[in-house]
Structure 1
Amino acid sequence: MSKFEINEEIIRSLAGLLDETGLSEIEYESQGHRLRVSKGAVAQSVVAAPAPAAVAAAESAPAAVAADQPLAGAVNSPMVGTAYMAPEPSAPAFIKVGDMVTEGQTLLIIEAMKVMNELKSPRSGKVTNIMVSDGQPVEFGEPLLTIE
């Protein structure tokens, strides 16, 4: 495992986001390392991504998904927010189970801090499971759907 260098600028930026958004915790992942900043905590927690018991997000994951065994073909949430399955309430969903998708295709939208963020498909394949519903809050790293 490579050495994780602490970047104070990222920590300060994440702490600022906590203040701006009113969140109590925020997590950032890059190059296999995860950084979690919590309000009111004595210290920030720096955790290597493979450490199964140390990731709070795993506690809220579905029971069928073990923290140390990622779901095959899963597309995980890149942020905390609200998932929307369609571009607007009256429009059809971007995808449904059984659809074939291409890399870069919009799968759903995650609203975070009043910004609509399109979640693009990381690969081409068949949508085999959708684990979130329209308007559902999602956590960073939470499995949203599977593509095989």
Structure 2
Amino acid sequence: MSKFELDTEFVRKLAAILEETKLGEIELADGDRRIRVARPTASVVQPAPVMMAGAPAAAAAPVVAAGAAPTAAGDLSKHPGAVKSPMVGTAYLAPEPGKPNFVSVGDKVTAGQTLLIIEAMKTFNPIKAPKAGTVMQVLIENARPVEFGEPLMIVE
């Protein structure tokens, strides 16, 4: 059995890529050698969202356009119009409490238009429409945690 030599500079570069891209982990393999660099995954208790007087409560279930057939959760991630989360964080459908949502079911959107924001590490990241179309489904609730790759909306 040969000794595995660790290239710490390479590991540091991978860690920098994780930070830059907000990915949760990177794994590389070369023959029998494997290296995996991952962010710590601590469970964090999310504080209850602050509700402003007169603000509507978050919907209890994903919003689906009238006439749209509900799809199994596994199928939504493969939907060609799925807008997926590029990071782990907390998703907000409106720019701030009490303001209208960026978009609603049935809205026409243009490529690059902000659909929602995800807060990750105290930074608010706009999630933009990858293409022009109509918002067919909103798959998340306001102010809830989302995972990397999780479908957030369907734009067709």
Q: TM-score, normalised by structure 2?
A: 0.59
The CA deviation string for residues 46-84 of structure 1, in whole angstroms up to 9 with x for no partner, is xxxxxxxxxxxxxxxx953159x7123100001000000
Residue 64 (structure 1) aligned with residue 73 (structure 2): yes
Write out aligned runs for 1:1-148 (5 A): 8=10, 9-13=12-16, 17=19, 26-27=24-25, 35=26, 43-44=35-36, 64-66=73-75, 70-148=78-156
| Superposed displacement of residue 36, structure 1 | 5.1
Q: 1:44 corresponds to which letter in structure 2?
A: R
Structure ID, larger Rg: 2
In structure 1, distance between residues paired with 2:94 and 2:122: 16
Identify if the C-alpha distance between structure 1 residues 143 and 89 changes in structure 2 by more than 3 Å, giving closer, same or farther: same
Aligned pair count? 106
RMSD: 2.9
Unaligned runs of 5+ in 1: 1-6, 18-24, 28-34, 46-61
With a CA cutoff of 8 Å and minimum separation of 6, indicate the structure with the bigger relative contact order. 2
Unaligned runs of 5+ in 2: 1-8, 29-33, 38-70
Partner-residue secondary structure (3-state), 1:137 = strand
Moved over 6 A (4+): none
Q: Are the aligned partners of 1:14 and 1:26 in contact in 2 as well (CA < 8 Å)?
A: no
Q: Are the aligned partners of 2:91 and 2:119 in contact in 1 as well (CA < 8 Å)?
A: yes
